[in-house]
Copies of this chain bind each other. A is one copy, B any other.
Amino acid sequence: ANKRNRTTEEIGCIYGMTAGKPPQFTEKYFTQTVDHFNFNSMDNGTFSQRYLITDEYWKKGYGPIFFYTGNEGDVWGFALNSGFILEMAAQQQALVIFAEHRYYGRSLPFGKESFNIPQVGLLTVEQALADYAIMISELKEQLAATDCPVIVFGGSYGGMLSVYMRIKYPNIVAGALAASAPILSTAGLGDPRQFFRDVTADFEKISPECRDAVRGAFHQLKQLAERQDYSRIQSEVALCKVPSSPRDIHQLYGLLRNAFTLLAMLDYPYSTHFIGHMPANPVKVACGIMLSGSDLLANLRDTAGIVYNSTGVLTCFDLYNLYLECADPTGCGLGFDSLAWDYQACTEVELCYESNNVTDMFPPMAFTEKDREVYCSKRWAVVPRPGWLKVQFWGDALSTASNIIFSNGDLDPWANGGVRKSLSSSLVALNISGGAHHLDLRGSNEADPESVISARKTEAELIAQWVKMERTKTRLRKSDTQQKGFI
């Protein structure tokens, strides 16, 4: 889970580049309970939770509500990269809301003290879900929309939250589109080698030579490191400072591996500004570079440059400024949001992925439950609770759930941490061939593969069905309630 903070100008620019006409989102703040689960909490007050809303397409008081369950970052980032939700809102006359996850963006319950201990303790999945449940319920009242069915949307961790909303609060949400949501792997149901194996597979798919070139480059780096030829490493990979310890080398490995992770996750068929700038088909671009001559280390440096130096202004890589090692081996991003995500990876969300240079092309980098425990206890004074998400959010025992789409793209290294096979007619797994990380949530683009066009069509149809079903249910419940004489 990577993300960066963005300035307002950047946001305008990003949107301009991806869709043409900015949606008329209004930025608002919701008065939210700080602690839903303790009435004698350290803080029994409220905080301002940000959300974006547009009723541009809404049939007032009747059309459905499309609610994005914000994940680990500034909510504008998701709103501006989920154009499909708006396209569907236009078709289905929906109200659209993007809610910001507590402790991210500007939704900090304790302001700049939010990441102190113990204040950070109120950053949990359960609190975030309760935020959304309360926010939806109250906004429906405020907007005279009490009978409007709510569909939740989310990508990645946001998709996990969408699933959780549907399974834990089906009284509030009628269905969920969970795009690229690794709900199984993050609950400990998976293979720790899966993630980097699948990153590797993306490069191998371009060509086995590409994968071999990456592996070869890391091999050369390792040999230099073993010889302690640190100045050679500095010059070859263009580091700002000469590495001086195995720790620096480990950090370098992390930084480089993370570049490949992002290239694979964001392997869209057109250029994007979602997490930094990416060219169209970045894995292909990277493989072009990796195979562009015999200097493997120079190629490795230039490949990392796609991610870390897209503007070309950097003359060298600053090891500790560009990449932050954290409890998520797939990256935590930078800035305050990275602190929040590190905390979540240290508590509920399990992300113990390893690379080993056998099932993947990267240097061996283990991150075991034990490593996690040591790190998290030191960093945040917490003990991670493996298995907790599985107990709390059902793991793979999902058969009693309904109205959830699990969409995944086969280019996405997160895909195989999610549900890949339909479990019933209303628990639908969609595979998007040639799709990267939640491609389906993005606005339509000329370069879209047929697969995502088709997936979006299926998604829109299912969602329209759920909305219709929910209207019937509400009507039935209401007439029943009147008969019983409830107030």
Contact = CB atoms under 8 A, between A and B. Distances in A.
9 contacts: A38-B122, A39-B124, A133-B391, A171-B397, A171-B398, A191-B487, A397-B477, A399-B473, A399-B477
Interface stretch (A22-30, A266-274, A378-386): A378-386
A220 interface: no
Given A170-B394, A481-B396, A487-B190, A37 B126 contact: yes
Nearest to A419: B484
Contacts of A79: none
A39 B133 CA distance: 22
Interface string A24-57: 0000000000000111111010000000000000
Contact of A382 (B39, B170, B172, B380): B39
Nearest to A478: B396
A402 B402 CA distance: 12
A396 B170 CA distance: 11
Main secondary structure of the interface of A (DSSP, over half): loop
Interface in A400-447: 400, 402, 420-421
A45 B187 CA distance: 23
A395 interface: yes
A222 interface: no
A484 B420 contact: yes
A392 interface: yes
A118 B171 contact: no
A143 interface: no
A475 to B, nearest CB: 12
Interface string A367-386: 00000000000001111010
A130 interface: yes
A148 interface: no
Contact of A40 (B120, B133, B385, B420): B120
Given A189-B486, A191-B486, A395-B171, A480 B421 contact: yes
Contact of A486 (B134, B190, B477): B190
A244 interface: no
Interface residues of A, number: 57
Interface of A: 37-42, 44, 117-118, 120-122, 124, 126-127, 130, 133-134, 137, 168-172, 184, 189-191, 346-347, 380-383, 385, 387, 390-392, 394-400, 402, 420-421, 473, 477, 480-481, 484-487
Most chain B beta carbons < 10 A, residue from A172, A347, A399: A399
A443 to B, nearest CB: 32
Contacts of A169: 391, 394
Given A38-B124, A170-B400, 19 more contacts: A37-B37, A37-B126, A37-B127, A39-B346, A39-B347, A39-B382, A39-B383, A40-B117, A40-B120, A40-B380, A42-B42, A130-B392, A171-B395, A191-B486, A191-B487, A399-B473, A399-B477, A421-B480, A421-B484
Contacts of A480: 421
A153 B382 CA distance: 34
Contacts of A477: 396-397, 399
Contacts of A383: 39, 44
Given A396-B477, A487-B191, A391 B172 contact: yes
Nearest to A130: B392
Nearest to A481: B396
A103 to B, nearest CB: 13
Contacts of A37: 37-38, 124, 126-127
Contact of A391 (B137, B381, B390): B137
Nearest to A33: B385
Contacts of A40: 117-118, 120-121, 380-382
A484 B118 CA distance: 40
Contacts of A398: 171
Nearest to A189: B486
A346 B40 CA distance: 11
A208 to B, nearest CB: 23
B121 A39 contact: yes
Contacts of A402: 400
A385 B35 CA distance: 12
Nearest to A188: B487
A-B residue pairs, 8 tightest by C-beta: A40-B121, A171-B397, A171-B394, A40-B118, A170-B400, A39-B382, A37-B37, A38-B121
A184 B486 contact: yes
B396 A486 contact: yes
